[in-house]
Each structure stands twice: as C-alpha cells, then as structure tokens.
C-alpha cells in the first residue's frame, strides 16, 4: 500500500510538472518579414528631410500590390511602376534612376523608411490603411 501511494504521488507530480512546463512555454511568433508586411496601402504619418520635420510630403502614399506593382505619389505626380522588394527595403525606377528605400518594420502596421534624393536625406514613417 505504501509503494502504491509513492507511485501515485510520483505520477501526480509528473503530470502536474508536465502541465506547468507546457503552459510556461513561450508561444514563438513568426518574425515579421518585409515581403509579408509590405503589400497594401501605406500613408505618411511623419516626415523629416535632413533630420528636420517637413510638411512638404503631406498626402504621400505608397500602395504595394502582390504582383510587384507600386502606386505612389512620393515623387510628386502619381506613379505606377514595378518595384523590387529585398530584405532591407524596396526600390523602383523613376526617370531612368533607381530609387532605393531602406525599410524597417516597426510593427505590422507601421514602417520606418529612409531614402536619399539628390542632396536630401528623407526619414518617413508610414502607417497601413486609411489616411491619418
């Protein structure tokens, strides 16, 4: 009878410890990847030119589709063009020049984007969806 109690206690401890060890395992989320996050409509929420806030980019948007096409007004007039997405950002051609953008995922609905146009360094924050 004593051995039976020891076995029962031992089995109970194993069951309880396995329950808590499974409950404590962190649910690992898949890291966000630019190619998964990028498709969709993005609107400007903040812009800096040469590290100073600027309002000249108000109304800027980027719309990336899943077929590799970009619709944007970042360069002034509205532009529909193919784009290339790589691990560090995206690029497209404008007036025979390759425009490169470094993009960092802040969260699934926010991107921090950097580029250089002529002598100007631009840092912009984009939010997914409707204009803010």
> pLDDT tens, 91-119?
998 888 889 999 999 999 999 999 998 89
Determine the average pLDDT of the residues in 75-98.
89
Domain-embedded: residue 28: no
Q: Is 44 a domain residue?
A: yes
Q: Structurally, how many domains does the chain consist of?
A: 1
Closest CA to 36 of 8, 64, 10: 64
CATH number of the domain where residue 118 is located: 2.40.128.20
Q: Is 54 exposed, middle or buried (0-12, 13-18, 19+ CB in 10 A)?
A: middle
Is residue 9 in a domain? Answer: no
Asked if residue 18 is part of any domain, the answer here is no
Q: How far apart are CA 48 and CA 46, in angstroms?
A: 7
Residue 66, in any domain of the structure: yes
Q: Does the pTM of the predicted model rise above 0.85? A: no
Residue 132: the pLDDT is: 52
pLDDT at residue number 20: 59
Q: Domain for residue 86, yes or no? A: yes
Residue 6 lies in a domain: no
Q: With bands split at pLDDT 50, 70 and 90, how would you rate the model's confidence at 90?
A: very high
| Domain span holding position 80 | 34-128
Domain assignment of residue 19, yes or no: no
């Amino acid at each position: 009878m004593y051995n039976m109690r020891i076995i029962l206690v031992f089995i109970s401890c194993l069951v309880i410890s396995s329950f808590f060890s499974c409950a404590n395992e962190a649910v690992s989320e898949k890291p966000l990847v630019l190619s998964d996050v990028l498709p969709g409509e993005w609107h400007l929420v903040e812009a800096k030119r040469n590290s100073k806030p600027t309002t000249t980019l108000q109304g800027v948007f980027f719309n990336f589709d899943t077929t590799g096409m970009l619709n944007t007004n970042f360069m002034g007039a509205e532009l529909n063009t193919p784009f290339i997405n790589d691990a560090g950002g995206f690029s497209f051609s404008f007036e025979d020049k390759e425009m490169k953008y470094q993009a960092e995922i802040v969260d699934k609905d926010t991107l921090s984007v950097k580029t250089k146009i002529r002598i100007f360094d631009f840092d912009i924050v984009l939010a997914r969806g409707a204009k803010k």
